[in-house]
Amino acid sequence: MYYVLSITGLAWALITAGFLYQWLGSHYDRKRFTTAGRWVEIGNGQRLYLLEKGVGEATVLFESGIAATNLNWFHIQEKVSRFASTASYDRGGLGWSSPCRTARTPSNIAVELHELLSEAGIKPPYILVGHSFGGLVMRKFALLYPEEISSIILVDPMRCEEWPPLNPTRQAEIDRGKKLSGYAIPIARLGLARLAVTSLLCRSGLIAEQLASAAGTGGRHVLGRVRGEVSKMPQEVWPIVAAHWSRPSYYAGMRSHVEAVPETVREMQNAAPIHGIPVLLLTPGKSSPLSEDCLKRIGNNVNQVIASESAHWIHLDEPQLLIDSIQQMVNAASSQEVIAVG
């Protein structure tokens, strides 16, 4: 009996210590890593975290991939802010923003982004830059608010035909993502996610490797993918990535994004083409180029450029290509303003 009570007491002590470790770490992260940006209230108690840099007439807006935050643009935004006004943010449910209150579909997110810009006082014209899932968000934003858009850059945008319901063979991938995200929420609450990602990104990585090995082949596969993707980002943001990945709310937000993929596909597969707005599409050299028919479904003024050295994360594989593309769009917007004034 004494042995059982001792084991129970030890278990509760470890659980309590885990909760305390996570709470204190999260509190410290928030104080340490959020001073560069600000939170903007968009209604119903929801606040989105916004990071602004640079000055200029047109504002370059960055929209990240499906589970990514403003950190995904850290290097790009820093460089672009030297010649333009820029803004990146964390969607509801991700990063430092509050939990999402609507399904994570392009239309809902586009409306929230517009509210954010309005409340933050960031006025058009906008140059939209969206990666992967964020490319669909920016397409929808341009369809909803075309008069506010100067131009658009789509960085390997998500291809609807590759996902359910158009491609039901990948439903298992979505189900697995939802399940893993759900498992990660209580793990993060106990501080174990913080222990793992801090080890991986801020220390030797030994603890992360041990936890991944304990999870089997799947755990080692996830660890390898995480290492490969994060290694492309500047090391100075790794501690902030670890802070994001330590939060239970991050995994809840990830699950909301993943489970909305079929609804996103249904919404965007027959979306109207964008008319009258220049669109630059950056396609990885390691992927098949989009056909002319696909380009016409995006818009009537779409130019596709192949990023020959890139995989999906073009902005991390060939950042200068994107920076130069944005500069061209900014210069074009400035020329149009001069003509309009003249």
Tens digit of each residue's pLDDT (9 = 90 or more) over 196-254: 888 877 765 555 555 545 555 545 444 455 566 677 788 899 999 999 999 999 999 99
End-to-end, the C-alpha distance of the chain in Å comes to 89
Please, where are the H alpha helices in the chain? 2-33, 74-80, 106-120, 133-144, 171-189, 192-202, 206-214, 217-230, 238-245, 248-259, 261-268, 292-298, 314-317, 319-341
Count of residues for the chain?
342
Residue 318 within any structural domain of the chain: yes
Mean pLDDT of all residues in 3-11: 66
Q: How many Å apart are CA 230 and CA 223, to the nearest integer?
A: 11
Residue 2 has pLDDT above 90, yes or no: no
Task: Give pLDDT tens digits for 142-200.
Answer: 999 999 999 999 999 999 999 999 999 999 999 999 999 999 999 999 999 898 888 87
- pLDDT range class, residue 342, cuts 50, 70, 90: very low
Task: Give pLDDT tens digits for 287-334.
Answer: 999 999 999 999 999 999 999 999 999 999 999 999 999 999 999 998
Buried b (16+ CB within 10 A) or exposed e, 176-196: ebbeebeebbebbbbbbbbbb
Range of the domain at 336: 36-167+263-341
Residue 148 within any structural domain of the chain: yes
Residue 64 within any structural domain of the chain: yes
User: The domain that contains 71 carries what CATH number?
Assistant: 3.40.50.1820
Determine phi and psi for 122, rounding to 5 degrees.
-95, 110
Residue 277 within any structural domain of the chain: yes
Number of domains in the chain: 1
- At 312, list the tokens: 């999906």
Residue 336 has pLDDT above 80, yes or no: no
Residue 178 within any structural domain of the chain: no
Residue 312 within any structural domain of the chain: yes
Q: pTM score, two decimals?
A: 0.92
Torsion of CA 176, 178, 214, 193, to 10 degrees: 160
Residue 289 within any structural domain of the chain: yes
Residue 109 within any structural domain of the chain: yes
**What does the pLDDT read at residue 340?**
42
